[in-house]
Structure 1
């Protein structure tokens, strides 16, 4: 199996127009007019690809720009608590909470500690491992940090929306008000239907810095899938 390196870039100005065909990378336009240049990674079927954001493999300089933009977005939403979802959402939730001047944040997790309560968990099927079911947990020790509070859920990329929907259900269990779901990027639109299942107004709920389509193979490279 070939070794695949990972490299993403941040540029202060997005291109005025995007080409119809992309070969190795895709410039995702961000809300402030900058661009996040992401590598295109073919999926196992070989006919489709995704623009891959690996939040734990980006350079610190790129990470700082993303966190800056996320902090600005979070500040506009005026949450009382930042809630991070595993795994990649935690990389952004913690520094955003610190930048807002909060004393702490709430990290949800997949690993069940011995003192956890199953009532404070929800089942979750991973989009990358659809045959493996796991659970999303809220540590009982953190319940009072979110109960009755305005919380902002933070993730890196919203694609299926399953994790964000499950995190929202967990917050509803402890009477927290989900004031928004913040992500670096949305990918496709499947997440809208998933979040709709938990009774959330998805158009006003999700706040992302940018959007990336899905891609299909064509002559000379990769083309965004229509409607994605």
Structure 2
């Protein structure tokens, strides 16, 4: 089963994937889709407030964050990693319970990333926001190093996230019943 939608003027078929027996979500995969990554970055930047650095989670949002930073004239972007890396010092971390992952994840940054965020205008970016758990974890990281969050942006707002007034997005993505109908 697929859900066809238009995202930033481009049609895509998103495969429907079960979360449980009663809930399916449409998988939006930016990896390997340069065209949609470039166009989505362009459209999001049109809505973006002034910012100094982009923060995203180590996920499918990475190519979007990179492309937005590139199109914005080479702004900095930070990836909150899923685990501490050997090069990181003074690691700051938080936990994430995401709808698309079957276990609790960690997001973390090191001192170098913290220094790039502290006192700067931060734009948090992700490919899809649904429950908001990844977003909340990124906010905790940014706030813990005294970054100034100026915006939260995503390509798709899934389910109830489309009704939030604290995020900007390009398209609303519904959630689905097991038979593929929209909930």
TM-score (norm 2): 0.86
Structure 2 equivalent of residue 181 of structure 1: 152
Shift of 1:35: 4.9
Q: What count of residue pairs does the alignment treat as equivalent?
A: 182
Deviations 1:84-118 (A, max 9, x none): 22211111111111111135321211121234334
1:10 alignment partner in structure 2: none
- Structure with greater proportional strand content: 2
Question: With CA pairs under 8 Å and 6+ residues apart, which has the higher RCO, 1 or 2?
Answer: 2
Matched with 2:176 is 215
3-state SS of the aligned residue for 1:121? strand
- CA shift, 1:127, in A, is 2.2
SS at match of 1:224: coil
TM-score computed with the length of structure 1 as normaliser: 0.71
- Answer whether contact 1:110 1:135 (CA < 8 A) is retained: yes
Runs of 5+ unmatched residues, structure 1 = 1-22, 193-201
Question: Does the Cα contact within 8 Å between 1:84 and 1:108 map onto a contact in 2?
Answer: yes
Does 2:107 align with 1:136? yes
Aligned counterparts of 1:122 and 1:150: Cα–Cα separation in 2: 21
1:116–1:124 distance in 2 versus 1, CA, 3 Å: farther
Contact 1:213 1:224 in 2 (8 A): yes
* 1:72 paired residue among 46, 54, 57: 46
Aligned mates of 2:61, 2:2 — CA distance in 1: 25
Bigger Rg, structure 1 or 2:
1
Asked whether the 8 Å contact 2:37–2:67 carries over to 1, the reply is no
The residue correspondences of 1:9-88 to structure 2 (distance < 5 A) are 24-28=2-6, 30=8, 34-43=9-18, 45=20, 47-58=22-33, 60-74=34-48, 77-88=49-60
Paired residue for 2:135? Answer: 164
Contact 2:121/2:149 (CA < 8 Å) preserved in 1? yes
RMSD (CA atoms): 2.3
TM-superposed deviation, 1:36: 4.0
Deviation at 1:160, TM superposition (A): 1.4
